Structure formats: C-alpha cells, structure tokens
Amino acid sequence: MNALQLVVADGVENLLFARTQMALTLGWHIIFACFGIAFPAIVVFTEWLGHRRGEAALTGLAHTWAKAMGVLFAAGAVSGTLLSFEMGILWPRLMDRYGEVFGFPFVLEGFAFFIEAIFVGVYLFGWDRLSPRAHMLSALPMVAAGIAGAFFVVSANAWMNNPTGFRLDAQGNVVDARPWAAMFGPSTWPQFTHMWLAAFVVTGFLVASVYAVAMLRGRRDRHHRMGLLIPLTVAAVITPVQIGVGDWIANTVADNQPAKLAAMEGQYRTTAGAALSLGGIYADDELRYALEIPYGLSLLIHHDPDGVVPGLEEVPADQRPPVNVVHLAYNTMVVIGTGLLGLALWFGLAWWRRRRLPHTVWFLRAVAVSGVAAVVAMAAGWITTEVGRQPWIVYGLMRTEDAVSPADGLAWGLAAVVVVYTVLTVFTVVVLRRLARGRDTLAPQERGQAHEQGQVL
C-alpha cells in the first residue's frame, strides 16, 4: 500500500467521525443561533411596550428575558466558535480548494459577532443605568448584527448547495474567484429567509411553551400570561408566512438540486402529473405505503398539474442522497409545521373573537409541546438540506469523502465535543432554571449595582 492509498483510507475512516461531530455541533448551535437572531427583537419590543404602557410587569418580563438572553448568547458563542474551527479542522481540503470563494462570509460573520457581543454587553449593563430611550436604541445594533450574522453563515451554506462565483480551468483549478457573487447565489435568499423566519418561530414557541407549563401548574398572574402571549403572537403571525416561504425554497431546490427534491419525495421515476407523497418507506427504487395527493408535487413545483418532475433515475446511483433519511426528515418538518400552523390559527381565531386565550387546558398543553416541536421541525429541515446534498459537500463538484481530514485523532475530537456540549447543556439549563424560579435573581452585571444600593447579596 503506497502513501496515497494510506491517506485515502484514513480519510474514509474519518468520514463518520467528522460528519457526526459536524452534525452534533450544528444541531446544538442552531438552537442558540435562533435565540441570537430573534430573541433580542422580542425582548426589546417587550421593554418598549412596558415603557409605553407604564406597566412594570412588562418591563420586569423584559428584564428577566434579557438575563436569559445573556446566558444563551454566551452558550451560543462557545458553540459558534467551535463550529468555525471545525470547518478547517474537519474539512481542510474543502477550505484549501474553495476557501477563497466562499470563506469571505465567515470573515464578515466574525465582525457581526463582535458587534453583537459588544451591544449585548451594553444592553445588559445599561439596564437602569441608561435612559429608557438610550437603552432601547443600544439594542438596535445587537438586533441588526444578529440578523447579519445569520445571513453570512447561511450564505456560505447556500453556496455549498449552489456553488457560484468562480470558474474551473482545464486542470480543474479554481480561477476568477468572486466572493461577493458567491455570497448571492440562487439559494441564498430563499435559505436565509427560511432560516430567519424559523428563528422567530422556534424562539416564539419555545419561550411561550415555558410559560404554558407554568400556567398549567397554576401560575396565572400577569407576568406569566404576557410571557406566553407575546412570544406566542410572534410565532403565530410568522408561521403562515413561513409556510409560504417553504413553497419558494421548494421551487429553488427543484431548479438547482433535482436529486434532492426527488429524495424528499421518494420519487424514482421521472413523472408528469407527479403526486405529493406523505410517509412511506423507500426500497428497491420504490416508495411504499405512502399517502399520495394526486398531482400535488407537479402543482407545488410547476403550478401545473401536468408538470414533469425529474426522478432519481436521472442521477447515477452513487450520486443519490440516502432517500429514506431525507424523505422522512422532510415529512417530519412538513407535518410539524402544519400542526404549528393549526395552533397559530386556533390562537388567532380565539383572540380575534374574544380577545383572550382559549379557555381550555388543551390549548395550554398544545403550546407547552409546541416549543420542542418547533425545534424538531427546524432540525428536520436542516437534515433535509444537508443530507439531501450528499454525497456532495460542494454540490456537483466535491464529494464529502474527498474533503475530510486524513489526520489521526478525529475520534478523540468527537469525544471532546460530546463532553464540552454535555457540560455546556447542564450549565445552561441550571442557570436558566434558576432565573425562571426567581425573577429577582441578579445577573453578574447587576451585583455591583445592587451592592451600591445596599442590597444583601
């Protein structure tokens, strides 16, 4: 066995460890990223509403959420930093070959992160130290930086799905790299919009679910009712919009990644008047036991019941994604999204008719599970996106197995990441539970202020 064969063998063996570590990191970080994108806007809105109405319960609620936001930001910063290093450590061949094309958004994301970190600090330390107007204005850069950071990261991922902004010469080398063009490929805006709205859906339902559980336990005061009502309203308003954006992104996938769309639907044959499939198991080039909606897929993609949808038969067998994983993940996202839409309509109809929450314990139970359901739906969506791109790390150009590091020790890196995230999860949950149990729990930046006011800590 020569040296080249040894390198290739090591790379293939490392693929499982690298993909597992990347999936773990992304799956963990994406939850905190949602809070980084959406929670600051919800917190500032609640603070503004409290000042506008002169209602201490609302400003107190915003203050509690601001403390939680600081904890979540710190946890997200750790996982985000690990993620940045992993791109180079786990996939050095990807960065070596295409880094000059799609690495630019990571640089800009770093600036966005620093701006967000600075103004998170200003917002937290400025509570009761700045005028209400100055305090809320200090949050605007934090909100904008969170959105910008999400755009830069998603644009890099969108490039991996639809690589643009460069040419390959006769020897296959990257030439004429245009990073700005690479940032704005055909998948960038649909993916970013989908992720941005998903952040509000996840954050809204997740925060509301915490207060729904508290209300089921008998805590029905103003603090808890508004703690449920505000984030639930945000999630309920955005969920129908997110369903519409889903149609946009499905059409983008159909135009640029037909193999992914075929895997999402478990469709092997190229078909005119293709049905929309729900559930079922894909085996022997056939989707079995699925519930089918006649002409549904052709209508969704072409807005024409007789539109032709390419099947997996158009793609060589070694270039097809794992169909069952993609199909079932996509179905999970759609089913949960439909359920959340039903919950949003239930809440909206009750509020429109009576200006109050539905008077049934089943509504609070539904809201209580909606937070976890929204997280599962988002994770299923990302599984669809990432696994559906396989076996490519750069769609159509570089296979994932060709990008992985051949270095020894990736298994130890995975073990270390599991330990770090376990400790970080326990730490985050303990701190958030302490904040939830005692609204007067002081954040670190408040201890000095309390001392000045003569409080006993």
pLDDT at 438: 63
Q: Average pLDDT for residues 152-176, to the nearest whole number? A: 90
pLDDT at 11: 53
pLDDT above 70 (res 444): no
- This prediction's pTM: 0.88
Q: How confident is the model at residue 429 (pLDDT cuts 50, 70, 90)?
A: confident
pLDDT at 3: 42
Q: Average pLDDT for residues 227-239, to the nearest whole number? A: 95
pLDDT above 60 (res 381): yes
Q: Average pLDDT for residues 363-391, to the nearest whole number? A: 94
Mean pLDDT over all residues of the chain?
87
pLDDT above 70 (res 10): no
pLDDT at 8: 42
Count of domains in the chain? 1
Q: How confident is the model at residue 250 (pLDDT cuts 50, 70, 90)?
A: confident
Work out the percent of the chain whose per-residue pLDDT is above 90. Answer: 47
Q: Average pLDDT for residues 14-22, to the nearest whole number? A: 88
pLDDT at 5: 44
Residue 169 resides in a domain: no
Residue 328 resides in a domain: yes
Q: Residue 259: which domain range? A: 234-403
Residue 190 resides in a domain: no
Q: How confident is the model at residue 110 (pLDDT cuts 50, 70, 90)?
A: confident
Q: How confident is the model at residue 365 (pLDDT cuts 50, 70, 90)?
A: very high
Produce one character per residue of 392-428: b if its CB has 16 or more CB atoms within 10 Å, e if not. Answer: bbbbebbebbbbbbbeeebeebbeebeeebeebeeeb
Residue 380 resides in a domain: yes
Q: How confident is the model at residue 440 (pLDDT cuts 50, 70, 90)?
A: low
Residue 438 resides in a domain: no
pLDDT at 12: 61
pLDDT at 372: 95
pLDDT at 170: 85
Residue 124 resides in a domain: no
Residue 46 resides in a domain: no
Contact 70, 443 (CB under 8 A): yes
Tokens 């755009």 identify what position?
A: 151
Q: Tens digit of pLDDT for each residue in 307-335? A: 999 999 999 999 999 999 999 999 999 99
Residue 201 resides in a domain: no
